[in-house]
Structure 1
């Protein structure tokens, strides 16, 4: 096999083909080769196939599309196989032209490579060798003209791009993008900034959009739009072996000058133990570039036998690429990074996390820990270890239980995740319960009273919400009175506007 490559306006088009093939397949030829050739199989014992969460997500997406093109959200814990789920839907449904939106450049590269070879679909015997590989476009920059963008899209089955570049291109060529793409997948949806997401949603109104995420709540604490059509509990992922057990190791170091050294010593001790049996990698998480430089020197000093690297934004392009190459090639033992290394590094070998600086958000904590608990198809790996200094904890109430004196993260994390996910589902269902009402001037979820709101609870069985105007002594004095009603929850919302003279 070889990979054909072409460029239009500096953006790559690639297809993996037999050595004897000299030209790209037409997108329709690729779709024709998939017709009747996808076999959905579930992994059972030694029989290869999709994992349980992948099968569930696959059926949920197909079912969702049978009756609506409403935005759907699929919640799969990190490491359970979002990409293979995407590929299975892409091939089995022979999607006309798919756009995959990712949050970062490394993830764009990783997802593109998986689509070029159709990931593990052939290894899992879901697709025969005779089926063609898709023509994959990767957008990294803008296009010189609408004609070049049209030519690029016309050659591709699937296009992978970041949300930011699609937002920029969409501002000039919105009609063309809307016309060409039939389906949109948004990977790591919790990363998409609200402004970028709103632009994408408006750009592809009426298209089939599916969001994939491990946490259906955004990093900026704003709501992810879309109905949660499938969620696979973290606890279930643990029970079925998709998540490695977590061992929490704590230290108590009250001297701020010594805490980094104490944490590094504990982490290196665990790494030496793990290295006796596994090719594990330690990741030291810090909050700033300055802290990364300081902690990097400590690990270099304390572990001369290990290969230590540091990575964060702001490094030179060449240096950053070389470090990324070493990380992906497993040529490192210890990584010091700001935040969580960034999306796009598919590294099941990450098995020891040292929290030099602790993040206070549940979404980010879940995403971070998920990087260390994932299993591997082709490598024997041990369990995950999380190390933190319990004498230096400042987290919100939601995370208190994780950093108690004797926390069992294997029990607490699934509970926190399930509770937060259910909260998002309940909120969505509550908002959807209000009727579409053209006379109601605002969306229910945007109602966040800053100055004045009154809530009444009816203590009797008598309930006549349509008679609410009788509660106003002088309704004619209002500029506006509008209502909306959720019949299932028996909640009436009334919005009023009244002009009153200011008392000076």
Structure 2
């Protein structure tokens, strides 16, 4: 070999090297000898055997390595040979293709040359003795993140006392996979069976187990610890004997739940007998009957379910004892999540909605890339037919580089699309639930929801893709057509599940008119005081009591004086811009069916307090209708408040045309034997005679009619309560209703 001029120095990533590449039946088993790593090397072009241009790399750690464009016979003294793309006329071009580098030599042992696999696995377990350290990350040193430490301590502690199903909830991007790997090594589990929902996640998870994730790099696992033997089920297991051999030949076995549940019963039973533990990733799928039945086979083995959301697709909680949940708000505060800007599109024509969504998403992508952000766009569709239509739309908008990915493509076609994204030949991918759960691509920062998701859990997972944070990446954006009630419902479900989405998902109305713009502005006025309350999903009934206030201003900071602080759900949420406060508190009382003092009925109540400065009226709504809440009114507006009651409340009937009274309460002025009479019916006025009305005064009334051309309902009581059958779509709508009521009460 002759060396040419042009030697220099470079930092390269040498690909991982396998120590073992074997099969049991049709399924692969692999073990790493060396993980992929950065090396500073001396480089120099050379000629191999006078014909093939190669690039020679040398370092003390890696030795002498050749990079070549085609297969060669390794010369003496060479530590390894790597195959690379590039131009033979310019060997330095081989460096540009490091993502595709693979070892030609040395080759891992062939299956028949491999040592006894059970003994290899035992050797791995022995090397893990004392190899794990609970090392916490800090500003100055690497280690486990806070949620990883919390989950791992919770799991280790749980296993000291119990071995039934445990559930760990960690938001997307906080390190679930490394937590699994840490548990594997810390507890020396073998063989561990890991079930995942998709092939893409199976490949990704198996690769991370192979290299022990980041745990060696951050110092949590000793450098002397062996890498595990990792098996992957991607072909049918023939019989129980093969299943037993497969588990006995690896430390970790990764499979899709589909492959496990479609195996014959004797194979499933053998896997359950031979595996020491079962980990289930993306466990919100456990509601599926086949998943639950397979998990049931592990009734006498420890099962751990990992998920980003504790809710199944049907809205119910994931079964199993929840032993650790890391809140979204802490994930965001720690920087694991970036905020998401929600950009609603308002388009009632379904035929035009796709183009509006695409134009909005492309505008965001172009702005992000133009500001130096390495962002990618994903357009989500519900079917292959829809994806093909949307793909054609993006191309018609001049984005001919947009790629399409769906399940009916060949693996090479899918890989070509992924490579285009990785190499930035394209920044736009149209997909049908690809890049789904567990797929790790932090640069995906713009989501175009051309079709809604099937349920809450999937929406959570999808949006979680876009919140991950890495250096030099900006915030994420989601575009959806808000006129589709199913999209609006899915977003509302996010807030209902976890109020922390209040701080993570903010609506960007961009000047759009209408209820959504007003709601976004109104909710923004609560600021951080609403972090623990899902204000977007509070739907109060239209009801209130009203107080006249003689003070110039109200004092919402005094709300706590009217409540037992121990019974508050959280600190009151206060909007000083709109003069609104929201309180959730509970009452408890003895059960009515016995004297059992340690059993109490607990009822949560909603309180809304709104002060209208122009009207000098204080409105109080409560789901607890047992009183008029004077103590609360005096706390926030002073002792001089006066309840609006008596005949004045009947002013709210003003403006109601064609009023039909459905309920009428009458008090007797003279008759002491019958003091109160209640009438109910489709039109009670038609059924009451003048004689029945003599010496009676109206106590309360409820009826239907028309106001401003629309059907309306209204109720009022001399005691001061005013109500309607309507349910507000948000709190701001209730405040607007209060203003309408106030105008009527003030009209002499």
**Fold match (TM-score > 0.5):** yes
Query: Against the structure 1 CA distance between its residues 5 and 489, is the aligned structure 2 distance closer, same or farther, given a 3 Å change threshold?
Result: farther
For 1:459, which of 570, 592, 596 is the aligned residue? 592
> Deviations for 1:102-151, whole angstroms, at most 9, x for unmatched residues?
01111111000001110101111112222100000101122234333222
List runs of 5+ in structure 2 lacking aligned partners: 1-15, 35-105, 496-504, 508-515, 538-589, 603-748
Structure 1 residue 327: Cα displacement: 4.1
Comparing both chains, which one has the higher relative contact order based on Cα–Cα distances under 8 Å and sequence gaps of 6 or more? Answer: 1
Residues of 1 paired with 2:531 and 2:250: CA distance? 41
Q: Report if aligned partners of 1:102, 1:187 keep a CA contact under 8 Å in 2.
A: yes
Higher strand share: 2
Counterparts of 1:85-484 in structure 2, within 5 Å, are 85-169=179-263, 171-192=265-286, 194-276=288-370, 277-304=372-399, 307-327=401-421, 331-339=425-433, 341-359=435-453, 361-376=455-470, 379-395=471-487, 399-400=491-492, 404-405=516-517, 407=520, 458-459=591-592, 461-463=594-596
d(CA) in 2 for partners of 1:119, 1:387: 33
Partner residue of 1:40? Answer: 134
SS at match of 2:31: strand
**What is the aligned partner in structure 2 of residue 77 from structure 1?**
171
Give distance in 2, aligned partners of 1:194 and 1:11: 26
Change (3 A) 1:367 1:458: same
Cα deviation per residue 1:438-492 (whole Å; 9 max; x = unaligned)? xxxxxxxxxxxxxxxxxxx95265359xxxxxxxxxxxxxxxxxxxxxx86789x
Q: Residues 43 and 365 from structure 1, CA distance in 2 versus in 1: closer, same or farther, beyond 3 angstroms? A: same
Please give the alpha-carbon distance, in whole angstroms, between the structure 1 residues aligned to 2:323 and 2:256.
24
How far the C-alpha of 1:292 sits from its partner, in A, is 1.2
Equivalent pairs, count: 428
- Distance of 2:197 and 2:454 partners within structure 1: 21
For residue 169 of structure 1, give the secondary structure of its aligned residue in structure 2.
Answer: coil
CA contact (8 A) 2:21 2:30 kept: yes
CA deviations over 1:238-295 (Å, ceiling 9, x no partner): 1111001112223323333322112111111111111131211011122222221111
Q: Distance in 1 between matches of 2:398 and 2:202?
A: 34
Counterpart for residue 63 of structure 1: 157
* Contact 1:358 1:393 survives alignment (8 Å): no
Q: How far 1:331 sits from its partner (Å)?
A: 4.6
- SS of 1:38 mapped into structure 2: coil
The answer to whether the Cα contact below 8 Å between 1:234 and 1:414 also exists between their aligned partners in 2 is no
Under a length normalisation based on structure 2, what TM-score does the superposition of the two structures give? 0.53
Deviations 1:48-78 (A, max 9, x none): 0111111111111111101000100000001
CA 1:21–1:139: 2 relative to 1, 3 Å: closer
Change (3 A) 1:145 1:259: closer
Contact kept? 2:131, 2:222, Cα under 8 Å:
yes
